[in-house]
């Protein structure tokens, strides 16, 4: 059976990585965009990362341009924007699709593990969040409007 640690990913800098590199950490996996009404959540995600990283927590961000073309930039532009505007220091990955035939296998897996409202398998918008425990189980899925600070307690329970 395939698990979360079986997926390969490409960093924003173009290096190949594997989610097994984060084995044993609590993860918050988020599809992001630079021109979204929820883009300000980068700040809250960074605050969680700063606060909890030393305790075994990471945010993993996957830019996506599937929703109203709100992530049109290339890797360098995405990196410059997120790091300069919000001080993002958590891992960011190459732009991916989260829905449709071209969806990254990681997101196909996440959606299967934790369907959305009414059992939907699609991601509805940018900044949908998946919480993964230290053993690699997908524990929860949070809608885009759920602010990162509201996830502090569920994350702390898993740490």
The domain limits of the chain are: 4-158
- pLDDT attached to residue 27: 98
- Known catalytic residue at 64: no
pTM, two decimal places: 0.96
Q: Which of 62, 68, 66, 71 is nearest to 35 (CA)?
A: 71
What pairing do the DSSP bridges indicate for beta strands 57-63 and 26-32? parallel
* 4-158: CATH, from 3.30.1490.20, 3.40.50.170, 3.30.70.20, 3.40.30.10: 3.40.30.10
27, 36, 60, 110: the active-site residue: 36
Q: What is the pLDDT of residue 120?
A: 74
Mean pLDDT for each consecutive 10-residue tract of the chain (159 residues)?
91 96 98 95 98 98 97 95 96 97 96 82 94 97 96 97
pLDDT at 1: 66
The whole-angstrom separation of Cα 17 and Cα 11 is 7
Angle at 18 between CA 40 and CA 2, to 5 degrees: 105
């Amino acid at each position: 059976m395939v698990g979360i640690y079986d997926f390969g990913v490409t960093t924003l800098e173009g290096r190949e990585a594997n989610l097994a590199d984060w084995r044993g950490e609590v993860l918050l996996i988020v599809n992001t965009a630079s021109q979204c009404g929820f883009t300000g959540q980068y700040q809250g995600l960074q605050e969680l990362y700063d606060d909890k990283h030393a305790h075994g927590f990471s945010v993993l961000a996957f830019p996506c341009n599937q929703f109203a073309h709100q992530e049109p930039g290339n890797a360098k532009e995405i990196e410059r924007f997120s790091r300069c505007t919000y001080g993002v220091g958590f891992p960011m990955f190459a732009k991916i699709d989260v829905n449709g035939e071209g969806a990254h296998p990681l997101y196909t897996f996440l959606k299967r593990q934790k369907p959305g409202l009414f059992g939907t398998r699609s991601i509805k918008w940018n900044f949908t969040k998946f919480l993964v425990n230290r053993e690699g189980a997908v524990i929860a899925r949070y809608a885009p409007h759920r602010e990162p600070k509201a996830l502090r307690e569920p994350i702390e329970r898993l740490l």
